[in-house]
């Protein structure tokens, strides 16, 4: 079973003293199994957002150690900053990342609160999905009045803490522990220094909106409903919280937002709405800023949105799509945007890498590694690389056709083909290393101890599982390479005539990948005990190979006809 992973994003009320921040992050990094992904201090907010990821138990241990260190080093009675706060470790939300549901994450949040109270003597509240009462779901409600209100608030039975002693700790304050969906902290930069104007725009866009006034919308009395409660005018964007503030270190006002569900309001939608509302108030958006990390899909969705606005093909590399997103939303306005640090999947991969992947090598290095005395990479990885090259050529023709002068009305047609080709070459690139990993697993299985009957049985089971995987990987290479031949065929038929030979070369490479991968399927078949499974795989593999050979002939015929004409 795959390992459960949760993200933990504790916010500490210290953003100026690097030595204190370092001691807290050192405490986190002292826990085995936890990966520290991001440390984002803010001078004006006097707050540091830390992002870590790992299995639940190590993450909880890291959070407890960090809270203990924060309690030792941070004095809330002397704290000031732009951001709302009421504790040294102000909030500590847990976010399900992989192989764990929200329902499974909530008990871990409750366990964390219990440990903070029992082991560190910290008091606090559970919020969002971890809240034990509906009133405490909203963090802003829990934090109302901030640190300064705690002496009085903690005496109110209605606000008895969910964990810890429940008394006022002058130096520490309290902590909010939550379980929540992935939250994106996102700030939009304005060409003004006016907090008032930034706030007005924030009220325009945030879901909560603003209080309704009678008569004059700026100075009139606040409107009340029949029960005497304030009437609110909702803002434009669902699942968005926001305020306006001035950031002294950059000399600009910002709309500071928490996007609590980016499937409802994506980052690019929030950015565009802020632009529209700002312009209506005579203010211009100059760019934006991500605090902490963002999922890769959110960046790809943003980049594709802006490519569509330009009538450009979406079948370009992820790196190009991300670059378009960064430039379109001005994410490099205040400082360089580094995808390997700000995109969560890239950050995990960069910190979790245990060795250099084949796909990260230069072409020269990959060829030399293949030619060396090592047994891997072998024919399976090379077949996958051939398939990726073939898919890339088909994708290239689609992208060129989408951008061809005079074919503007057909950009989306070719973009769709380019996206299909891109999906193929991205998968085939991954399979290059998967094939080598599968070979290494076979070698590891043969190296297991086999002295007793139990050990022999365990070794044989491991060998059988690894051998099946070493067959399944090249079989996927066959399937994906055949799939990309459809792109090559379409581009030979309808693509830019000047690039028809590229479609033909793509078909040659893809057919070679299919046949090469089938050789690997067959050579790994020896010793497989599950003959019924093996017979089915070999039969399907033979069918794929025959289809690839026939399709190659058809594509080459089309190419030759186009060249001859």
Q: Is 434 designated active site?
A: no
- Cα 345 to chain centroid distance, Å, stands at 5
- DSSP structure class, residue 221: P
Three-point CA angle 330, 53, 103, nearest 5°? 105
Beta strand 11-12 with 175-179: parallel, antiparallel or unpaired? unpaired
* DSSP for residue 372: S
Helix or strand holding residue 366 (H, E): helix 363-371
Residues 6+ apart with CB under 8 A from 297: none
Backbone angles phi, psi at 532, to 5 degrees: -65, -45
Dist CA 525 CA 528 (whole Å): 6
Residues making up the chain, counted from first to last:
565
Rg for the chain (alpha carbons), in Å? 29
**What Cα–Cα distance (Å) separates residue 141 from each residue in 8, 33, 128, 132?**
21, 34, 11, 14
The Cα 84–Cα 242 span in angstroms is 12
Catalytic residue among 38, 40, 79, 83: 83
One of 38, 433, 435, 502 is an active-site residue; which one? 435
Cα 116 to the chain's mean position, in Å?
29
Preceding amide of 377 cis, omega within 30: yes
Q: Is 83 a catalytic residue?
A: yes
> Distance (Å, rounded) from C-alpha 50 to C-alpha 40?
6
Strand partners, 421: none
Phi/psi at 451 (5° precision): -85, -40
CA distance 13 to 91: 10
DSSP notation for 17-32: -HHHHHHHHHHHHTST
Cβ atoms 187, 217 nearer than 8 A: no
Residues classed as catalytic: 83, 435
């Amino acid at each position: 079973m795959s390992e459960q992973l949760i993200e933990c994003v504790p916010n500490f009320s210290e953003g100026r003293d690097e030595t204190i921040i370092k001691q807290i992050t050192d405490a986190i990094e002292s826990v085995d199994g936890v990966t520290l992904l991001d440390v984002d201090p803010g001078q004006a907010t006097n707050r540091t957002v830390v992002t870590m990821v790992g299995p639940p138990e190590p993450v909880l241990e890291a959070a407890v150690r960090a809270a203990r260190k924060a309690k030792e080093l941070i004095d809330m009675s002397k704290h000031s900053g732009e951001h709302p706060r009421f504790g040294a470790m102000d909030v500590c939300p847990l976010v399900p990342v992989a192989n764990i549901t929200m329902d499974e994450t909530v008990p871990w949040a409750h366990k964390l609160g219990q440990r903070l109270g029992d082991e560190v003597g910290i008091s606090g509240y559970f919020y969002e999905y971890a809240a034990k009462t509906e009133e405490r779901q909203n963090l802003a409600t829990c934090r109302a009045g901030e640190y300064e209100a705690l002496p009085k608030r903690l005496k109110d039975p209605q606000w008895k803490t969910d964990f810890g002693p429940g008394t006022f700790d002058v130096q520490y304050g309290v902590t909010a522990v939550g379980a929540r969906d992935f939250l994106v902290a996102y700030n939009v930069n304005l060409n003004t220094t006016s907090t008032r104007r930034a706030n007005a725009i924030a009220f325009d866009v945030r879901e909560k909106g603003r209080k309704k006034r009678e008569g004059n919308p700026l100075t009139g009395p606040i409107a009340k409903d029949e029960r005497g409660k304030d009437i609110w005018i909702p803002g434009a964007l669902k699942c968005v919280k926001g305020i306006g503030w001035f950031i002294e270190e950059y000399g600009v006002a910002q709309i500071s937002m928490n996007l609590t569900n980016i499937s409802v309001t994506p980052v690019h939608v929030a950015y565009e709405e802020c632009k529209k509302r700002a312009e209506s108030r005579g203010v211009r958006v100059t760019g934006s800023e991500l605090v902490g990390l963002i999922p890769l899909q959110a960046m790809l969705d943003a980049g594709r949105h802006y490519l569509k606005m330009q009538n450009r093909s979406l079948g370009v590399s992820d790196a190009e799509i991300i670059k378009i997103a960064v430039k379109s939303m001005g994410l490099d306005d205040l400082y360089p945007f580094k995808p390997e640090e700000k995109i969560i999947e890239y950050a995990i991969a960069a910190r979790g890498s245990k060795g250099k992947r084949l796909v990260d090598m230069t072409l020269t290095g990959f060829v030399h590694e293949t030619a060396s005395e090592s047994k891997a990479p072998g024919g399976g990885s090379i077949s996958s690389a051939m398939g990726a090259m073939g898919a890339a050529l088909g994708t290239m023709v689609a992208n060129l056709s989408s951008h061809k002068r005079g074919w503007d009305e057909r950009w989306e047609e070719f973009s769709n083909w380019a996206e299909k080709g891109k999906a193929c070459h991205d998968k085939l690139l991954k399979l290059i290393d998967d094939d080598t990993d599968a070979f290494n697993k076979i070698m590891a299985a043969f190296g297991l101890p086999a002295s007793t009957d139990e050990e022999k049985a365990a070794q044989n089971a491991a060998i059988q599982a690894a051998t099946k995987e070493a067959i399944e990987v090249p079989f996927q290479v066959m399937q994906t390479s055949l799939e990309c031949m459809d792109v090559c065929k379409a581009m030979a038929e309808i693509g830019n005539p000047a690039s028809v030979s590229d479609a033909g070369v793509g078909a040659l490479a893809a057919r070679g990948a299919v046949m090469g991968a089938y050789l690997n399927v067959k050579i790994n078949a020896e010793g497989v005990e599950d003959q019924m499974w093996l017979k089915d795989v070999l039969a399907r593999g033979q069918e794929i190979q025959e289809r690839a050979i026939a399709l190659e002939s058809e594509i080459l015929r089309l190419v030759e006809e186009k060249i001859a004409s």
